Chains A and B, each alone.
Chain A
Amino acid sequence: MSKNKEKLKVLVVDDEPSILLPLEFLMRKNGFQVFIARNGTEAIDSVDKELPEVVVLDIMMPDVDGYEVCRHIREKKEMNGAKVIFLSAKTKDADIKKGYAVGADLYIPKPFSTRFLMEKIKDLTAS
């Protein structure tokens, strides 16, 4: 994490404040610039405005769900190379497969290990 490099933009999307709380803290702690979205619509707005490099996405949300947001990211030219990580309480095989099918880089079931999540984000952004 060098200081001269520009801070990595991370968008965290979840409709549960109790989950946003630790996520936001973790991202800041690791020196990312953090954006928060509490539902799918906010997430899409934020993607279009901020063009984050990493998106941590919940799936079950009011209005637009996580899969839709992911599709939107993958269709967007400017978001080429952005990393999408699903963080979901949906743990069935079919849900996970669908997550990868819409273009996720990683699918982590809830509850998750904070250390694991951060390692994976670092791995993904290192290359």
Chain B
Amino acid sequence: MNYWLVIGVSFLYLALLFGLASWAERRSAAGRSFVSNPYIYALSMAVYCTAWTYYGSVGRAATSGLEYLAIYIGPTLMAPLWWVVLRKIIRICKVQRITTIADFVASRYGKSITLGSLVTVVCVVGIIPYISIQLKAIASSLSLLTDTAIQQENFPDTSFFIAVGLGLFTIVYGTRHVEATERHEGMVTAIAFESVLKLVVFMMAGVFVTYFVFNGFDDVMLRAQQLPNFEKLMTFEQEGGFGEWFWMVFLSMLAILFLPRQFQVAVVENVNEQHLNKAMWLFPLYLFAINIFVLPIALGGNLLFPRGAFDADMFVLAIPLSEGQNLLALLVYLGGYSAATSMVIVATISLSVMMSNNLVMPLMINTPYFKAANQDRLTRILLYSRRFCIMLVLLLAYLYYKGVAEYYSLVEVGLVSFAAVAQFAPAIIGGIFWKEGSKGGALAGILVGSILWFYTLVVPSMVGVGMLPTSVMSEGPFGMAWLRPFELFGLQGMGYISHAMFWSMFLNSGLYIGVSLLSRQTSQERNQAEVFVDIFRYSTVYESSIVWKGTAYMPDIKSMLVSFLGEQRTEKALKSFRNKYPAPEDATGKADPKLVTYAEKLLSGVIGSSSARIMVASVVKEEEISIEEVLNILRESQQLISINNELRRKSLELRQATEQLRTANERLKHLDELKDEFLSTVTHELRTPLTSIRALSEILYDNPDMGREDQEHFLHTIVKESERLTRLITQVLDLERFESGRQKLSLEPVQLQEVVNEAVEALEQLVEEKSIELVVDVQQSLPSINADRDRLMQVLVNLISNAIKFCNPEHGRIIVSVYYLDGDVKVNVVDNGKGIDEESQRQIFDKFYQARNQNIRKPEGSGLGLAISKKIIESHQGRLWVESEPGKGAKFSFTLPVKVTASAAKV
């Protein structure tokens, strides 16, 4: 393919990333952030998959078989633990404005500059090989694609320009703002995009090889069995195989946490801790997806090409190319390019921040002459130093590539970097869970661990390319056999990675724990230890959790902030502090100790915690403070927090209690209203017959001479009204007993047929008077039910007499039917009256519904009959209801269970 075409496409791709990133930043500035969602977060974590994964996995699989999987199993195993480990680290970094892993270690151990610089140096030395393999991957894929041999190029060669180009791109996108805590939304969006691209293209290539070049997975595997080394690839090696796997998995578990670029995307760029929940399963899923086609491609490459025709690392690209699929090949190249660039961008940004904050800045502010001369230009110097560092890192990576990496496979070089960052594990994991871990321990552990790393991993590679004599490997330096880098202290029989990890981790952790136990923490160290380990207790009140004694003056603090943050942001920051801790300004101009802590935290975001510490110390007069004092104050502030929590809990309980009281009161008031209403309705209903009785009696008394007929009529009415009065009183008392639950049923076996007949007989006269046709239809051999006979009688009489009252006045017809249905006995009373509308159907069983709805009021009846009937049926565990359509009569039904339990019989 044309060389310049590919170069052009590469640059176009960078320009696209550029556009994407600035689009995302504009969106975020407009308040519609693209990054604040868990999917982007999880995708940005996939920066873990670099050219190593994209090209290297295939290479590894083609030469060493399944071993390539180990470095994906580690992160997958680690993901569930993120909630415990990563969330804590994120919270600490948010609270203390920590921006790099070096800053994290330094902060934990008393904001130590020495420790910060050490971690920075280890990171830079450790990660440069890793960056170099990205350059190598880009260069080799480019050379394969364009069919140019890289070795023949003179300086400056293509890879040099690639390094410089990536450096410039990173500078533009990574160092526009000084404050490193400010998130790089543009960068994260670009990284997420690259993660999608590399996955999609790799899978396309996988599908092409598996299904187009071969006939599916089965075909590849079947044919691969003829390969001479197939068995070796697909099984563990006999000796040390499991040990090697264990160490690889362990190594990658640490790498996913402590690689500077992972720390950058997972911690610094984290928007919301909750995003971890999704990332915990999405990220492993991504790893799974990108590995599906590794094996078919690797085996396919082995089958298609004679040994040594292509570097196995380049199989992904070589297969489409050899099949004449130029477009696919170009896409594959772009996918690999994106995998490589994403790693380079993130890694160099975080390394540059580390270097400028932990190496350049302390040097600058510790040199009084330099500091005085450049007071106003500190931020600009900081910014330029970061840009310089980015270029420096990339150039070093280029040199490493040219000098060493060119001779090793991608995976071999990458693992060396993994082992380097693994050296931070004891100090960091110990630091967030063990308060006793001390600066001395961390320093000793990391120092010795990284020296061993260098000696057992880097030195051999230097020997390999001829920088050191081979005798170092075979006979040991200066002939000391026990110092042979691969068989240190005589340890034999392990793979070189296992060997290096074993020694470095063993001595690193041992020294960390041992020295920590023996050494004494300073008060500041102790303070940080407390805050780190118990971060979830302190995070909301951070400013008061840092114990500090001394005198500081407001103008000094302010001018210090202005020189790093600028006027505007300083004002904004101070305002938000005053909002959080409102306090009157001190007349003497002394600053609140909390403000000093706050200022230090703000500065940490810009220049790192140790440099911030020095800056603050230079403008305030501090007093010595003992560890005991720190612990006492912390304990007090913790008590204060727990008292606060207790108070909050109590006030919540109080609020709930108030709420409960209020609703109870309302219920009572409502019940009271109901009672009032009931009483007033009852008295009203009593007044009517009473009025009639009184008036008639008075007339009879005053008119002894009235006609005999009138007299009889009057007396008859008086008797009838008195009966009405009695009935009303009985029913009110009945209802009251049912409602208060004092009504007892006397249950006995009852033949419903008998009760129905009796009720009908009682009403016979009325039926005849109105010449109503009454049909009684009772099923034969009805089971007897356990019920209160008199009460059932009352219900039936009520329902039938209602039917008599309301049925068609001309051609009255009533049907009473009784039958057994699904364990119940069902009774229907159907009339052919004018029916009941829907709303009345709902209210008809209410007390005095008639009285309150005058439209249907009839002279007879108390208005309590149906209410009582319903109560009676319900107390028998039955159900009473009505079905009706206006104009088509009404059907009142009730069911009674054949078996009524004794407990239900008491209402």
Choose among B680, B699, B703, B713 the residue with the greatest number of A CB atoms under 10 Å from its CB.
B699
Taking CB atoms, residues of chain B closer than 8 Å to A89 are: 684, 687-688, 691
B691 touches A111 (CB 8 A): yes
Residues 730-763 of B, flagged 1 when their CB comes within 8 A of A and 0 if not, give: 0000000000000000000000000000000000
A114 touches B684 (CB 8 A): no
Choose among B688, B690, B856 the residue with the greatest number of A CB atoms under 10 Å from its CB.
B688
* Known A-B contacts A62-B857, A65-B854, A90-B684; A18 and B699 likewise in contact (beta carbons under 8 Å): no
Whole-angstrom distance between the alpha carbons of A61 and B690 in the complex? 18
B692 touches A18 (CB 8 A): yes
Taking CB atoms, residues of chain B closer than 8 Å to A49 are: none
B717 touches A115 (CB 8 A): no
Whole-angstrom distance between the alpha carbons of A15 and B858 in the complex? 9
Whole-angstrom distance between the alpha carbons of A115 and B692 in the complex? 14
A16 touches B695 (CB 8 A): no
A111 touches B690 (CB 8 A): yes
* Known A-B contacts A18-B717, A62-B854, A63-B855; A115 and B698 likewise in contact (beta carbons under 8 Å): yes
Nearest CB to that of B695 among chain A residues? Answer: A22
Q: Which of A27-41 contact B (CB under 8 A)?
A: 29
Taking CB atoms, residues of chain B closer than 8 Å to A65 are: 854
B691 to chain A, nearest CB (A): 4
Q: Which of A60-115 contact B (CB under 8 A)?
A: 60-63, 65, 89-92, 110-115
B859 touches A15 (CB 8 A): yes
Taking CB atoms, residues of chain B closer than 8 Å to A26 are: 695, 699
B717 touches A114 (CB 8 A): no
Whole-angstrom distance between the alpha carbons of A111 and B696 in the complex? 11
Taking CB atoms, residues of chain A closer than 8 Å to B691 are: 19, 89, 110-112
Q: Which of B846-870 contact A (CB under 8 A)?
A: 851, 854-857, 859
Taking CB atoms, residues of chain A closer than 8 Å to B687 are: 89, 91, 110-111
The answer to whether the Cβ of B232 comes within 8 Å of any Cβ in the partner chain is no
* Known A-B contacts A23-B695, A26-B699; A110 and B688 likewise in contact (beta carbons under 8 Å): yes
B723 to chain A, nearest CB (A): 11
Whole-angstrom distance between the alpha carbons of A76 and B103 in the complex? 97
* Known A-B contacts A21-B714, A29-B703; A63 and B854 likewise in contact (beta carbons under 8 Å): yes
B698 touches A16 (CB 8 A): no
A15 touches B857 (CB 8 A): yes
The answer to whether the Cβ of B694 comes within 8 Å of any Cβ in the partner chain is yes
* Known A-B contacts A62-B857, A65-B854, A114-B695; A18 and B714 likewise in contact (beta carbons under 8 Å): no
Whole-angstrom distance between the alpha carbons of A62 and B684 in the complex? 16
Whole-angstrom distance between the alpha carbons of A22 and B690 in the complex? 12
Whole-angstrom distance between the alpha carbons of A61 and B856 in the complex? 10
The answer to whether the Cβ of B768 comes within 8 Å of any Cβ in the partner chain is no
Taking CB atoms, residues of chain B closer than 8 Å to A63 are: 854-855
Residues 768-800 of B, flagged 1 when their CB comes within 8 A of A and 0 if not, give: 000000000000000000000000000000000
Nearest CB to that of A65 among chain B residues? Answer: B854
Taking CB atoms, residues of chain A closer than 8 Å to B593 are: none
Taking CB atoms, residues of chain B closer than 8 Å to A23 are: 695
Choose among A15, A18, A113, A114 the residue with the greatest number of B CB atoms under 10 Å from its CB.
A18
Nearest CB to that of B855 among chain A residues? Answer: A62
Nearest CB to that of B851 among chain A residues? Answer: A60
Total contacting residues, chain B, CB less than 8 A: 28
A21 touches B698 (CB 8 A): no
Whole-angstrom distance between the alpha carbons of A32 and B855 in the complex? 31
Taking CB atoms, residues of chain B closer than 8 Å to A60 are: 684, 851, 854
Whole-angstrom distance between the alpha carbons of A91 and B685 in the complex? 12
Taking CB atoms, residues of chain A closer than 8 Å to B713 are: 21
Taking CB atoms, residues of chain B closer than 8 Å to A61 are: 854
Residues 418-451 of B, flagged 1 when their CB comes within 8 A of A and 0 if not, give: 0000000000000000000000000000000000
Q: Which of B661-713 contact A (CB under 8 A)?
A: 680, 684, 687-696, 698-699, 702-703, 710, 713
* Known A-B contacts A29-B703, A112-B695, A115-B702; A18 and B855 likewise in contact (beta carbons under 8 Å): no
A19 touches B695 (CB 8 A): yes
Q: Which of A6-54 contact B (CB under 8 A)?
A: 15-19, 21-23, 25-26, 29
Taking CB atoms, residues of chain B closer than 8 Å to A112 are: 691, 694-695
Whole-angstrom distance between the alpha carbons of A114 and B702 in the complex? 10
Whole-angstrom distance between the alpha carbons of A5 and B747 in the complex? 71
Taking CB atoms, residues of chain A closer than 8 Å to B855 are: 62-63
B734 to chain A, nearest CB (A): 22
Whole-angstrom distance between the alpha carbons of A21 and B706 in the complex? 14
Partner of B692, one of A15, A22, A90: A22
Whole-angstrom distance between the alpha carbons of A17 and B691 in the complex? 12
Whole-angstrom distance between the alpha carbons of A112 and B695 in the complex? 7
Taking CB atoms, residues of chain B closer than 8 Å to A114 are: 695, 698-699, 702
The answer to whether the Cβ of B720 comes within 8 Å of any Cβ in the partner chain is yes
Taking CB atoms, residues of chain A closer than 8 Å to B720 are: 18
* Known A-B contacts A16-B859, A114-B698; A21 and B684 likewise in contact (beta carbons under 8 Å): no
B698 to chain A, nearest CB (A): 4
Whole-angstrom distance between the alpha carbons of A18 and B693 in the complex? 8
Whole-angstrom distance between the alpha carbons of A19 and B684 in the complex? 14
Nearest CB to that of A19 among chain B residues? Answer: B692
The answer to whether the Cβ of B721 comes within 8 Å of any Cβ in the partner chain is yes
Nearest CB to that of A92 among chain B residues? Answer: B680
Taking CB atoms, residues of chain A closer than 8 Å to B717 are: 18, 21
Whole-angstrom distance between the alpha carbons of A114 and B714 in the complex? 15
Nearest CB to that of A23 among chain B residues? Answer: B695
Taking CB atoms, residues of chain B closer than 8 Å to A21 are: 692, 696, 713-714, 717
Nearest CB to that of B713 among chain A residues? Answer: A21
Identify 9 residue pairs between A and B in the complex whose beta-carbon atoms are under 8 Å apart, listed by A's number.
A16-B692, A18-B688, A19-B688, A19-B691, A19-B695, A89-B687, A89-B691, A91-B687, A112-B694
Give me 10 other A-B pairs in contact (C-beta within 8 A), A19-B695, A111-B695 excluded: A15-B857, A17-B859, A18-B720, A18-B859, A21-B713, A26-B695, A29-B703, A61-B854, A89-B684, A112-B695
Instruction: Name A's B-contacting residues (CB within 8 A).
Output: 15-19, 21-23, 25-26, 29, 60-63, 65, 89-92, 110-115
Instruction: Name B's A-contacting residues (CB within 8 A).
Output: 680, 684, 687-696, 698-699, 702-703, 710, 713-714, 717, 720-721, 851, 854-857, 859
